[in-house]
Structure 1
Amino acid sequence: MTKLSDLGPPIPGKRHDGEPADEKDHFYKCKTCGQPVDMRDLRQVMWHEQPRHEQLKPEIVRRS
């Protein structure tokens, strides 16, 4: 199973419409595998845009 860290260093995304009021609004549920995707990390977004992908193995992610 692929881990998020296997995809390389974080690629931070930037919102064009300002920060959402709630932390949960940074996430969407992948229509293919059902895993939550953090839209602030473009690695996750690109992974989940692949047609037949597997879920990413959960890891502890520390934000600075």
Structure 2
Amino acid sequence: MTSKPQTAEGLLPVTQADPRTNNIATGIIGSRVGEQPTDESEHFLQCEECGEAFDCRDLGQVFHHHEPGHRPLGES
């Protein structure tokens, strides 16, 4: 990934250009069902636990943010 994705206003962005996960779904990129969003930010949700925005197209990020007690991917 060469550029940082835009996130919806008010969401904390992923602080790494290409955040890495380490779970069974790492590297699996989904495809959208239905109409494409009109804005790139619609691919992102804000994690209720850590506050970080994550890309719902990346199943590794989705799994990471559903793990209880996780830390934001942008933290070292």
TM-score by length of 2: 0.63
Matched with 1:4 is: 19
Aligned length: 56
Q: Distance in 1 between matches of 2:49 and 2:21?
A: 20
Q: Shift of residue 17 of structure 1? A: 1.3
Runs of at least 5 residues in structure 2 that lack an aligned partner in the other structure: 1-17
Higher relative contact order (CA 8 A, sep 6+): 1
Identity %: 38
2:16 matches 1:16: no
| Aligned mates of 2:50, 2:38 — CA distance in 1 | 27
More helix by share: 1
How far did 1:6 drift? 4.6
What is the one-letter code of the residue matched to 1:42? L
Aligned-pair Cα RMSD in Å: 2.1
